[in-house]
Amino acid sequence: MRPHIEPFCDRDVDFKKMGLRGFGMGMRYKMLSFDPETGGCSMTVQFDGGYKQVPGFSWSELEMIVVEGELQVGDRTVRKGHYFFIPAGYAMPAISTSQGAIVLMMYNTGEPSLIESTTHHPQAQVAYYHDVDAMMDIPWDPGGVTRPTVATGCLIKLLNFNLESQAITFLYCMTPGFYQDNISYHDCAEESYHLWGTSWMMQFGDIPSGGYFWRPAYINHGAFASEFGCIALGRTDSKLYNHFHYNPWSTPVENADRSMARLAVRDPLLYNWTVDFDHNHPHSLKDFEKTMPRRGPDWEGEEPHKSDGHHHDHWHRDHHHHVHAHGDEYNELLEAVHTHHHHDHDHDHDHDH
């Protein structure tokens, strides 16, 4: 699971030399976010003028968008705004740039790799490959990829939809003068890179060009505004649902509880199954479907940088585990599964354990 990175702007750090085997000379990177379990990461990458890369595939699913400059991909020249969805094992043609280019590269399921090959790996899901000039060849839609939706003036170009997880990748544009006064959180992680322009968020301030966040589920964000507009690449790791509210003090644990309460109304049988500890332990999705790992088993998300080293911190505030009325085994399950059933709703989570 990737930690919460926000606020962050890639202009504030220097490029580092990429020394990974397989890649060409003259590739430099800025690490934006990194998953220590899978090696998955998002990077701003600079290909120096004259960079050449052999044909080949990655072991990880890869998304790329050209931020500046031109790339030669096989016999095509692609420009700023060109987006690629490249399944794991899909062999790309040789890539080069004569004048240099900056590219956002998102290795979603594993560490960056390039295996020289002119043929796809036999298990590659080649039909999922696609690329498009996202600036020129897709019109802006008036938001609304999910209900309830963002305020008027946030436009969307949908770039990729994962049929298994419902994860989406999209460009979004806040038009000049955009504002949205409520607070959002989601049941998915959310990633954004500002290609151009500045937006503002109540919790994290201005996000300028090069601004980036990787935001785990259930973290409050918003209100939003953009004075002069912005264009950004957005991504989720699973289904995007907008939980809107107006309480800036709710914690991620409380937000997850509220989401669970909504699940209990919407899908009561699924909810009951989820919280019933007599059933077999929860299976991995991998037991049923071949799918990329999106969340580790520890999905509730320890965040080392927010812990003071003494407390078992769940995102932002301490909480107490409820040990009453249950046997040890049950409590172990509670620890393991963490459905966060708080029997008291006094909003006071500041007790020591």
Which residues of the chain form contacts with Fe ion (CB under 5 A)? 184, 190
- The answer to whether the beta carbons of residues 29 and 64 sit under 8 Å apart is no
Query: Pseudo-torsion of CA 219, 200, 3, 105, nearest 10°?
Result: 130
Question: Which CB atom, from 90 or from 224, has the smaller least distance to Fe ion?
Answer: 224
* Distance of alpha carbon 50 from alpha carbon 211, whole angstroms: 28
DSSP per-residue letters across 77-127: EEETTEEEEE-TTPPB--EEESS-EEEEEEE-SS----EE-SS--TT--GG
Q: Least distance from C-beta 185 to Fe ion, angstroms?
A: 7
Least gap, CB of 314 to Fe ion (angstroms): 20
State in angstroms the smallest separation of the CB of 145 from Fe ion: 12
For the bound state, the minimum distance from the C-beta of residue 20 to Fe ion, rounded and expressed in Å, comes to 32
- Residues with Cβ < 8 Å from 309, sequence gap 6 or more? none
Q: How far is the CB of 341 from Fe ion (least distance, A)?
A: 26
State the Cα–Cα distance between residues 342 and 88, nearest whole angstrom: 41
Residue closer to Fe ion by CB (options 88, 150) is 150
Closest CB to Fe ion among residues 83, 213: 213
Residue with smaller CB distance to Fe ion, 244 or 273: 244
Residue closest to 60 by CA, chosen among 42, 44, 33: 42
Q: How far is the CB of 156 from Fe ion (least distance, A)?
A: 13
Please check whether residue 45 is in contact with residue 104, taking contact to mean a CB–CB distance below 8 angstroms: yes
Q: How far is C-alpha 20 from the geometric centre of its chain's CA atoms?
A: 24
Measured from the CB of residue 218, what is the shortest distance to Fe ion in angstroms? 11
Instruction: Please state, in angstroms and rounded to a whole number, the distance separating the CA atoms of residues 274 and 264.
Output: 10
Q: Which is nearer to Fe ion, 223 or 333 (CB)?
A: 223
Whichever of 186 and 319 has its CB closer to Fe ion, that residue is 186
Comparison of 90 and 191: residue with beta carbon closer to Fe ion:
191
Q: How far is the CB of 199 from Fe ion (least distance, A)?
A: 11
Nearest residue (CB) to Fe ion, 32 versus 62 = 32
Alpha helices for the chain (secondary structure H): 252-266, 268-275, 328-337
Residue 90 is classified by DSSP as P
3-state secondary structure of 191: strand
Q: Which letter does DSSP use for residue 311 in this model?
A: S
Residue 219: CB minimum distance to Fe ion, A: 9
Give me 318's structure tokens. Answer: 């301490």
Contacts of 254 (CB under 8 A, 6+ apart): 342, 347
Within 10 angstroms of residue 50's Cβ, the number of other Cβ atoms is 13
Cα separation, 95 vs 117, in Å, equals 13
Q: Please give the Cα distance from 237 to 191 (Å, whole number).
A: 8
Tokens found for residue 327: 């046997």
Toward Fe ion, which CB reaches closer, 245 or 320?
245
